[in-house]
Structure 1
Amino acid sequence: MSGQAQGAGGDHFFAGSFGGDNAKIGPDTKLECKICWHIYDPAEGCAYWQIPAGTPFAELPDHWTCPECDAPKAGFMVVE
């Protein structure tokens, strides 16, 4: 499976996807939704979900989804 990586739950994700592996990201890492390209920036938080500024992506609740398209956290990609 070229271009795919295996996530924490055994699911396959595109290379660069977060995939649920918190070890891949730091507290200031920005992540981008692979569906709608919304960027989660920890410095800004998420007004839609009432997530305060300074909240790392790894600390978002498990039920958190993209505020633009409802994609799951595991589908987000690390922004270089």
Structure 2
Amino acid sequence: MGQMVSHKGELLRINVAKNFIEYSSNNGKVWHRRSGQSHSMGTLQDLMDSGDEILVTTSKGLYYSSTEGKVWHRRS
């Protein structure tokens, strides 16, 4: 896993300094904030593209998104 993945034509990364997910649709030239709920997920650690979902490990557990990182749900 890592802090940046390619998913469905976009790059997604963890902004470590601000603890949120960012995306780029132009190969990393410009980055935009994607997720507004990362503060409740704990400290973001690693991202993984698993096909239909993006996974992120955090200090509070494993979360998944099927909406390109717009909405996250905790995986039990």
TM-score, L = length of structure 2: 0.25
| Structure with the higher strand share, 1 or 2 | 2
| Structure with the higher helix share, 1 or 2 | 1
TM-score, L = length of structure 1: 0.25
